[in-house]
Structure 1
Amino acid sequence: MQNLGIAITGSGSAVPATFLDNHALTEVVETSDEWITTRTGIRQRRLAKASETITELATAASEQAIAMAGISPQDLDLIVLATSSPDDLFGSACHIQGQLGATKAVAFDITAACSGFVFGLVTAAQYIRTGVYQNVLLVGADFLSRWVDWQDRGTCVLFGDGAGAVVIQANQKDYLLGFELRSDGTQNNCLNLAYAAEPTQLTQQVNVGKGNFQPITMNGKEVYRFAVQKVPEVIDKALFRANLSVDQIDWLLLHQANQRILDAVAQRLNIPEHKVISNLANYGNTSAASIPLALDEAVRQGKIKTGDIIVTSGFGAGLTWGAAIFQWGR
């Protein structure tokens, strides 16, 4: 009988060694530890050095996930990298494939900002469910410190760098229980890392744009309002598709953007605090890395156990948001 379900069988994570706590951040921008912690819950963030690359960190996280799954890089059929800050604008997934020695795997990047890991999970699952691939590596990695305006206290206090990875394998029983993905481009201007056209006159008749990007801009109030409203809705829809009730959930694992968002979503869904996974105090918002980073930490701490039902939701630029419900392990 063909295995047309999926199981998530391994996880891994990696963060830069350099950290910047709130007190040190006050030397960079006018803010305070109290201002940051009361509004976000973040106490410190890890920042990549100029010499560090997404590929290095993603490869380290991937090696851990592959080892936990008990397979080798040569067993991988597909590598999906969810990132908005690749080392190379043409994509970094192939570089990771080369570093791992995953000679059989096809590799590509997807960009869905802070929703990237959830979108990637659903994408990877479809390749397995259709019988095309057996073993998929999904990586979420971002270095948004590259694109932060360090004088904008509304954004620079939020972001950190990191990578997380999972191995997804074909399985007789399907442990991806339900999902729902959404986009609303009419709110695109709420959160951007936008192209900034610098006109270059090639000839008298031809004017082209020179490539560059502006720092991250965000309407914090609108993004908060969007997340608190839309995330519980999309989780409800995913629960309906999974034919599950809230009280059957073992863990709520949201994109680690802001502790106030985590608390508000849990409250709206009547999920008790002890079921909410949160590590953003130590890492800040690591965008596409935040969910797999928190997942791996909870697995290695022994909190998440085989068979636990996890509701995960990502939300961010696009605007994009989505939820996926899965059982850990097999």
Structure 2
Amino acid sequence: MSRTAVMCGIGGWVPPTLVTNADLAARLDTSDEWITTRTGIRQRYVVPPGMSTSDLAVEAGRAALKSADLDSADAVIVATTTPDRTCPATAPTVASRLGLAGVAAFDVAAVCTGFLYALATGAGLVSTGQADRVLVIGADAFSTILDPGDRSTVSVFGDGAGAVVLRPGEATEPGALAGFCLGSDGSLADLITVRAGGSEQRSAGAASPGDEFFSMQGREVFEHAVSKMAVAARTAAERAGWRLDEVDRFVAHQANVRILRAVADQLDLDHSRLVVDLDRVGNTAAASIPLALDHANADGTLRPGDRVVAAAFGGGATWGATTFVWPRLRSI
């Protein structure tokens, strides 16, 4: 019988520094009403000085392993856009700090779609027999790459990490991953970017002022995010043999609430089926989907047996979706 990757553990973590909309309004030309109306976000958490992406990933990974009643894994995959260093990858550091010395560990970079790309990669390791337990983490400290004076990005992004553990099982089991759909379009690279810091800029010479910060073209991102996530979600459901009206919960990348609702409308899904936690944590990039799953599992929004479609859109441009029946997982 063929092996299928099955989720058996879930965990999430956010850093200790809470930043409310009122806090931002006190130092920027904005207001709680302006932010909430446009994004649905009321607060977010950011790393304090000295804390980095690996710190977030370790905490989420530890919780996911505990949820799965495991103290080891054969591989660690970290999806992130904010690695601790350009070189080396962050995953080996995370694995070492979790006591997983010697295991395969590597990063995946697909911005806000990163977790789904990492999940597909982990599922591949399990299904081909390369690993029996894979820890997949989405972690980002996006506050470290934002222009602190840019209200359009500072109000949206937060820091955090979410993780799942995969094991081999059967395709009919709750938690089994199915229907992956992944895509990209490099011609859209400038929509979501940090221009400085890479070989392109370093080879060309000095960076222009502000190029060290994250930037995005909001209107175009909105349009592509809605269309690409809708197509990916529909394709993933079809590959899993599901009708969209059979889907109980839709967990989209937590970019902003208007995007989530627009994608749901494209799919003819009632907004009540959306899993939303961005009001509490903001857009946490690669952490967004696993963190939303962790919160929904803990508060009962997700129930064992629910049919779930997860979808994301991110820089690259990249997009993706997958499906699973929610298993009974212990919240930590």
The bucket for the TM-score relative to the shorter chain is over 0.9
| In structure 2, distance between residues paired with 1:89 and 1:196 | 9
Q: Who is 1:78 aligned against?
A: 75
| Pairing 1:69–2:64 present | no
Q: Report deviation, 1:68.
A: 1.1
Paired position in structure 1 for 2:192: 191
**1:206-232 alpha-carbon deviations (Å, 9 max, x no partner):** x88479961011100000011111211
209-218 vs 266-275, greater mean Cα deviation: 209-218
User: Deviations 1:25-49 (Å, cap 9, x if unpaired)?
Assistant: 0122211111111111011110101
Give the aligned length: 322
Query: Quick one: distance in 2 between partners of 1:197 and 1:318?
Result: 14
8 A contact 2:201–2:207 mirrored in 1: no
Q: Deviations over 1:88-137 (max 9, x none)?
A: 22211001101110135210011000000111111111111111111000
Secondary structure of 2:316's match? coil
Larger Rg: 1
* SS of equivalent residue, structure 1 residue 270: coil
Summarize the alignment of residues 7-18 of structure 1 with structure 2, pairs less than 5 Å apart.
7-18=6-17
The answer to whether the 8 A contact 1:252-1:310 is kept is: yes
Matching residue of 1:246: 244
Of the three residues 167, 170, 173, the one matched with 1:172 is 170
Quick one: distance in 2 between partners of 1:71 and 1:121? Answer: 19
Measured at CA, do residues 26 and 173 of structure 1 come closer, stay the same or move farther in structure 2, by a change above 3 Å?
same
Aligned to 1:204: none
Contact 2:171 2:177 in 1 (8 A): no
Corresponding letter in the other structure for 2:216: M
- 1:137-176 maps to which residues of 2 (within 5 A)? 137-173=135-171, 175-176=176-177
* Matches of 2:181 and 2:112, distance apart in 1: 15
Contact 2:275 2:301 in 1 (8 A): no
Displacement of 1:181 after TM fit?
A: 0.6
The offset of 1:307, in angstroms, is 2.9
Q: 8 Å contact 2:230–2:267 — kept in the other structure?
A: yes
Quote how far apart the aligned CAs of 1:196 are: 5.1
Contact 2:191 2:315 (C-alpha < 8 Å) held by counterparts: yes
Query: The residue matched to 1:187 in structure 2 has which SS?
Result: helix
| CA distance 1:196–1:98, shift in 2 (3 Å) | closer
Preserved CA contact (<8 Å) 1:197 1:211: no
Tell whether the 8 Å contact from 1:197 to 1:209 is kept in structure 2 after alignment. no
Q: Deviations over 1:218-267 (max 9, x none)?
A: 10000001111121111111111111101221210011000000011111
Deviation per residue, 1:38-89 (Å, 9 max, x gap): 111011110101111222221111111111112212xx11100000001122
- Cα shift readout 1:190-217 (whole Å, capped 9, x = no counterpart): 110122589999xxxxx88479961011
Q: Could you tell me the TM-score, scaled by structure 2's length?
A: 0.92
**Aligned residue for 1:88?**
85
Unpaired runs of 5+ in structure 2?
Answer: none
Corresponding residue to 1:224 among 222, 225, 249: 222
Q: Secondary structure at the match of 2:162?
A: strand
Which of 259, 263, 266 aligns to 1:265? It is: 263
Paired residue secondary structure (2:182): strand
Task: Show the counterpart of 1:121.
Answer: 119
Q: Is the CA contact (8 Å cut-off) linking 1:15 and 1:161 kept in structure 2?
A: yes
Deviation, 1:279, is 0.6
Q: 1:321 to 1:198 in 2, by over 3 A?
A: closer
Look up the equivalent residue of 1:56 and give its one-letter code. Answer: D
Distance in 2, matches of 1:199 and 1:249, equals: 43
Inter-partner Cα distance in structure 2 for 1:140 and 1:151: 26
2-side partners of 1:24 and 1:171: how far apart?
Answer: 47
Does the CA-based 8 Å contact 1:9-1:328 persist in structure 2?
no
Asked whether the equivalents of residues 9 and 168 of structure 1 are also in contact (C-alpha less than 8 Å), the reply is yes
Distance in 2 (CA, whole Å) between partners of 1:92 and 1:140 is 11
1:6–1:168 CA contact under 8 A, matched in 2: yes
Farther off after superposition, 154-163 or 49-58:
49-58
* TM superposition score normalised by structure 1: 0.92
| Distance 1:264-1:198 versus aligned 2 partners, 3 A rule | closer
Q: Give, as a single letter, the amino acid of the residue that structure 2 aligns with 1:37.
A: T
Say whether 1:34 aligns with 2:30.
no
User: Separation in 2 of the partners of 1:261 and 1:199?
Assistant: 31
Q: Percent identity?
A: 39
